[in-house]
Amino acid sequence: MTKFPSKKTLLLAGAGHAHIGMLRRLSTARLKNTDTTDTDIHLISEQPQTIYSGMLPGWMAGHYQLHDISIDIKSLCMRAGVRFVQQSLVQVNAVSNKVVTKGDEQTVFNYDVLSLNTGADTDMRWLYNHNDHRSDSDVDVGAVNAHANTDVIAIRPLSTFITQWQRILKDAQSSERYQLAIIGAGAAAIELVMAAQVALRNINRNHQVTLVCGENLLSGFNSGFRQRVIKQLHRHGITIIRERATDYRDGKLSTTHKSLPINAVIAATGVIGSAWTASTDLEIEGDGFVAVNDKQQSVSHSNVFAVGDVATRIDKYVAHSGVHSVHGGAVEADNLLAYLQESVMKSYQPKSRTLYLLSCGDKYAIGSWGNVNLQGRWVWHLKKYIDKRFIEVNKN
Ligand SMILES: Cc1cc2nc3c(=O)[nH]c(=O)nc-3n(C[C@H](O)[C@H](O)[C@H](O)COP(=O)(O)OP(=O)(O)OC[C@H]3O[C@@H](n4cnc5c(N)ncnc54)[C@H](O)[C@@H]3O)c2cc1C
């Protein structure tokens, strides 16, 4: 009697940009009847929907509804022939090819091949080193984020942030002068601060948003771009404090030299590895990221792949961004199939220049492509077109 080899199991953990692309590709192959993957595929994600971060500031400023910026992962899985599991990844035991997840109860899944695209957590270490002389990198990543100060609103996870932003708007409606601070110096913090100022000023002209950004505002961008952004912050009347935030309690935000009365604080203070990366035997790099090679493959376990904010390339610097999750994800999807079919894998080589479009609250945006800078209402419409296309191809 012939014994057929049993089907392999591919486990996709997280529903980030890369796995969304993978699901789209599987459903297209299924429609065309060209699906050649003789594999059981499962996707584990915390939520049946995922929020598209690129449009979040537009939602805050009132340009989009929540359904405009959400992607229905459960439906995408159904169309792709992938089993959706609403659970949270809590542990990866790579030596025994098992992951542990948590939902209503704890579950163990076996896999032949694992792909990780769970994104990252907000780096809250700035809250924990104010009263001693440790630098951020000396503070234990997992311990800090597990006990994060509940008064400060972290931008991630986005699903939690959505509820907290709705609460801020409600509180602002019943306040004479609502004061919001946003902490961070990257593009996300800048977009959030301008969106928040537009939203709060629409409620009451006395409401005020403050950006606490330290000394290195937009350090990864060219100086022309930075100057354009600063002009827009001034146009909106945003208060800029170029000091480090150190603490927030009892309605007082402390910075290096100041103490400010603030109703709510949002942290967009960069990323550190997902909490589960503290419970794995995979090789971890830097602040809790899965160490991968140019094929997006774990450097310690060859049947594990990771892409997007959860991973760090060990051979070259690749920024944590949605753009690299999408493009790296396309290569990773090819490599997962190649690995399953024992064929040759590809290398992800990021382009030397990527287009970055930063929305300025109202329907205005600034763009950068290498050293070329752009701005205007038309840049906002270009961003809207690109963002809506991303959502629409993943909805239909
Ligand atoms: C306001 C804002 C605006 C931004 N704008 C841009 C932009 O314009 N361009 C750009 O390139 N980048 C932008 N970024 C950065 C971008 O959001 C991230 O780099 C990108 O989302 C990373 O994508 P990812 O695929 O790694 O995962 P994510 O998009 O973070 O998705 C991770 C997914 O995994 C799920 N998940 C998380 N943990 C678990 C777990 N333990 N178990 C199961 N599931 C889990 C989450 O629910 C989520 O669905 C922005 C960020 C913010 C905050």
pLDDT digits (tens, 9 = 90+) for 350-389: 998 889 999 999 999 999 998 899 999 999 999 999 999 9
Q: What is the pLDDT of residue 394?
A: 83
9-56 pLDDT, tens digit per residue, is 999 999 999 999 999 999 888 777 666 667 899 999 999 999 999 999
Secondary-structure class of domain 8-120+273-340 per CATH: alpha beta
Fold of the domain spanning 125-270: FAD/NAD(P)-binding domain (3.50.50)
Smallest CA-to-CA distance from 119 within 329, 300, 302, 282 is with 329
pLDDT tens column, 74-94: 999 999 999 999 999 999 999
- Nearest to residue 117, comparing CAs of 336, 394, 305, 387? 305
Residues near 329 by Cβ (< 8 Å), separated by ≥ 6? 16, 17, 18, 19, 21, 22, 117, 307, 308
pLDDT at position 140 is 56
Residue 298 per-residue DSSP state: B
Residues found in the chain: 396
Q: How far is CA 260 from CA 177, 180, 204, 309, 319, in A?
A: 14, 10, 20, 33, 33
Query: Which of 194, 269, 187, 204 lies closest to 233 in space, CA to CA?
Result: 194
Distance between Cα 19 and ligand 1 center (Å): 11
What are the domain boundaries of the chain? 8-120+273-340, 125-270, 352-396
> What is the distance between the alpha carbons of residues 84 and 47, in angstroms, rounded to a whole number?
10
| Ligand 1 neighbours (beta carbon < 6 A) | 13-18, 44-47, 50, 53-54, 56-57, 88-89, 117-119, 155, 157, 188, 191-192, 268, 274, 276, 308-310, 320-323, 325
At residue 333's C-alpha, the angle toward residues 272 and 141, to 5°, is: 10
What whole-number percentage of the chain has pLDDT above 90?
83
Reference 178, options 151, 154, 205, 158; nearest CA is 205
Average pLDDT over residues 195-217: 97
At 279-300, the pLDDT tens digits run: 999 999 999 999 999 999 999 9
Q: Which of 42, 60, 74, 325 for mutating ligand 1's site (highest number of atoms within 8 Å of CB)?
A: 325
ipTM over 0.90: yes
